[in-house]
A and B are shown apart, each in its own frame.
Chain A
Amino acid sequence: MQSTRTIKATGLVLLAVVLGLLTVQGSYALWNTAAASSAGSVQAADFRVSLTDTKTSQITDMTLADGTAANLSLSTTPTGVLTPGQSTYAGVQLGNVTNAGGDFTIRAGTGTPAIGPGGTSPLAPYLGIKVVAATALSQCSQPSLYEQAPASGTATLDIAKAKSGVFCFQLTLAATMPASLSGQTAKVAIPIIVNQL
């Protein structure tokens, strides 16, 4: 009968579908879900140390925008010509102006002074340079500050984040300088090196 054949065909199709599902064990979707960490970004601080001249209050960063080291010309007290046996003074204030999130203390140290121009000067043997760490620029012109300072011309200073410190310099022209060197000039360069502690 027609109806019997129809029933048989439908049954065969249903059977095939059931077999297909059972044998293939196909890629049916399973439950899954996801969540984000929302951790954000971690950023590094900058490493900035400011230099301020004693007299002019000129300020510069130790490292310039182009990544090169700054040179800060210091004004001396007293100004003018230095006579044998006389001293002149200068100072620079260092500021730890980093934007670090945690503690960030730096250690600043002065290097061996170079007396020029060109690293040599006839005045070099007659120039004494003392470097002392101080707390205020106003201390730099006080001779008593340098009485206990070594003649090596170096000093170190630890500066906490957002704090500042001062290097004071005393330059003395020896009384034994020969008169033949009168009129000579000397350029003193003192390197400052800063490290993170």
Chain B
Amino acid sequence: MNKMAKGAIAAGVGVILLAGGGGTLATWNQANNASMGSVVSGDLNLVAGAGVWKNAANTTIPNIADYKVVPGDTLTYTQPLTVTLTGNLMTAKLAVTGASAANGFGDQGVVSATTLTNARNGQVLPDAVLVPADSGQVTATTTFTFKSTTTGRDAVNSSVNLGGIGYKLEQQAPVSSNTK
């Protein structure tokens, strides 16, 4: 038998023996980072600023508790609301809640429905759907009128409490992203 063949046979035998041991073979593998980033939540908020009362002459009333109305008076309450809407699927509705307490003026005093307006939509109706682009200031306006047709001494020393009036910002159910 020539020497090369012997050497070859010896090498070949050695390899086979290694395979039979069933040892820790390395197989292909690979690893990588996912890099998914962060999930951040949006925001929904409503902040009521300080309201201001004015009379028909557009004179500011520093303290409504110190101002007594007479027939023919019309007072307007204006209040800024800051609306914050954040979120890719964020939609919400803004509505006025509550009502004035029993009106001590009877038919002689009229409290108007509170209106909400913003720069983007004009009047914000109860069913208007707000989106993040509507974030910003909404102006709430309420008017009280003491009728000039009041006669005699009707409704002297009467009062009406408007403190029950409020505002609610409510998120609307988002359209499922799975349907897109």
A interface residues with partner B (beta carbon < 8 Å): 25, 30-47, 63, 67, 98-102, 104, 196
Contacts and interface: CB of A to CB of B under 8 A. Distances in A.
Contacts of A35: 46-48, 81, 166-167
B169 A39 contact: no
B148 to A, nearest CB: 9
B69 A46 contact: no
A40 to B, nearest CB: 4
B44 A45 contact: no
A34 B77 contact: no
9 nearest CB pairs, A to B: A101-B67, A45-B68, A35-B48, A39-B162, A30-B171, A31-B44, A31-B171, A32-B170, A37-B165
B163 A37 contact: yes
Contacts, number: 137
B64 interface: yes
Contacts of B166: 34-37
B45 A44 contact: no
B163 A30 contact: no
A103 B123 CA distance: 33
Nearest to A44: B158
A38 B48 contact: yes
Interface residues of B, number: 54
19 contacts: A31-B170, A32-B169, A34-B168, A35-B46, A35-B81, A36-B165, A37-B51, A38-B48, A41-B159, A41-B160, A41-B161, A42-B69, A42-B75, A42-B144, A43-B158, A46-B157, A47-B153, A99-B68, A102-B67
A33 B168 contact: yes
B51 A39 contact: yes
Contacts of A45: 68-70, 156-157
Contacts of B55: 101-102
A42 B47 CA distance: 24
Contact of A196 (B53, B70, B165): B70
Given A43-B158, A43-B159, A44-B69, A32 B140 contact: no
Contact of A100 (B45, B64, B68, B81): B68
A39 B162 CA distance: 6
